[in-house]
Structure 1
Amino acid sequence: MSVTIFHNPACGTSRNTLALIRHAGIEPAVVEYLKTPPSVEELRTLLAEMGMTVRELLRKKGTPYEELGLDDPKWSDEQLLELIQQHPVLMNRPVVRTPLGTKLCRPSSEAVLELLPGGPLLPFKKEDGEVIRDTGARRASAA
């Protein structure tokens, strides 16, 4: 199964999501998007696959969101996409793409489970010690 994660290794949710994918026996393609930002076209594709707006993908905390005044409705979607490409820290994470769909796996890393094959997985312990118990519920096909 082809799995890609847009990953920030400094983010606990992103690390837990990556570990959970690996716990499922899958070695994903890891895109450290702060080092290799997605193109504007790739961002458009991800948003379409997730059924999200650009504003829903924006991360506010720990980014130049406030400094750039991105809450102002004057910014068009195209301008916001360009800004995410220029300042990839503005992209919320982690985003995971599998043949079952694409999803922003936030605020909780277990959101990735519905995108993974098979299931249920054995219990998984997150970095903070919380145990994730997989119900086996999966998407039937890409949304």
Structure 2
Amino acid sequence: MSDATMDEVPISPGLVGGAAGVVTFGVLASVTALLFDRIAVGVLVGALSGVGIFYTVPYTIRRADEGYVRDAHQNLARSFHPGAAGYALSGAGVVVLALLFVFESPLLPVAAALALAMAEYVVLSRVLPRAGESSVEDGEDAWSSDEWDD
């Protein structure tokens, strides 16, 4: 047996996000399948929200960690914003579930949720700071609301 205990081994944010994503997938897929008797739509709802939570949880943990520094040189997908994708996708699954109560056909709720998720991602990727970056610019050229009073 090893002498290492669970307290000594650090748990990565990706592992926490993966566990949260699997739980979210299971819960939302089963609830959707039970309510509407459509397994494929349940899997889609669970997958959208599960993948969204998989991206959101590590992003949130890394944003709270002041010591986390993003290494932009090793990141091959620099244009992808995991926080924006996570928030957009997790909401899209819930939108599909909510719209299924209104519409009988699952085609319109899925299309509306995916369109909404794409619009959310575009806006959030411009607004949300990336993990490891400061949310406030520290440079001299950073704008300030004090300049508006002049």
Please confirm whether the aligned pair reaches a TM-score higher than 0.5, indicating the same fold.
Answer: no
Between Structure 1 and Structure 2, which shows a larger proportion of helix residues?
2
| TM-score grouping bracket, smaller chain normalisation | under 0.3
Between Structure 1 and Structure 2, which shows a larger proportion of strand residues?
1
TM-score, normalization by structure 2:
0.23
